[in-house]
Amino acid sequence: MPTLSLHFQAQAPGGVILQSQGFQVIVELTVPGQLEQLLASENKPIPSPLRGPGLVDTGATFSMIDMDAVTHLCVSPVGVVTLGTAGGSKQSAQYPVRLAILTPPPNPPLFLAEFAGITAGPLKDCGLLCLIGRDILQRAVLVYDGGGGHVSLSF
């Protein structure tokens, strides 16, 4: 079972870093395989992958990508979902995307999946490319030791 483990104790009290920044990983977003094949067959440019921080969010039912990623990847909406937020219910469009949770090279991605529809929202202002919600975490084992400053994620 591939595992990503991080320990923050050497930098500062581990719990402080985890509390202020949360458990962040590096994610990569690309167009889904079928769209990539279609663009290649039509000799159209394939959007470059996007890499950035993803926050593991056990409070999020669904994962979410930043709206700018949707624009960069040139993907069209495939549906709409109603999300429950702290501010009340909200409609959000869904987009097809391939999402990877990366590990340090030369290791393969920790997680890689294509989503027929993933929600998009304004995450850039939070410094995030992606929220990793329970739709992904349901496939994982997550250990969060806040006091010890240690987290691990396995798929």
Show the tokens assigned to 16.
Answer: 């402080």
For Cα atoms 119, 84, 155, give the angle at the middle one, nearest 5 degrees: 55
Share of the chain above pLDDT 70, in %: 95
pLDDT of residue 15: 60
pLDDT at 94 over 70: yes
Amino acid present at 144: Y
Q: What is the pTM of this model?
A: 0.91
pLDDT of residue 113: 96
State the pairing for strand pair 79-85/3-7: unpaired
CA dist 122 → 13, 66, 87, 128, 134 (Å): 31, 5, 15, 9, 19
- For residue range 29-69, what is the model confidence (pLDDT) as tens digits? 999 999 999 999 999 999 999 999 999 999 999 999 999 99
Q: Please state which CATH number belongs to domain 3-154.
A: 2.40.70.10
Show the tokens assigned to 72.
Answer: 């960069």
Task: Please report which confidence band the pLDDT of residue 147 belongs to, taking 50, 70 and 90 as the band edges.
Answer: confident
Residues 140 and 4: beta-carbon distance below 8 Å? no
pLDDT of residue 135: 95
Report which of 1, 23, 25 is spatially closest to residue 154, judged by C-alpha positions: 1
Task: Please report which confidence band the pLDDT of residue 104 belongs to, taking 50, 70 and 90 as the band edges.
Answer: confident
What whole-number distance in Å separates Cα of residue 65 and Cα of residue 54?
Answer: 9
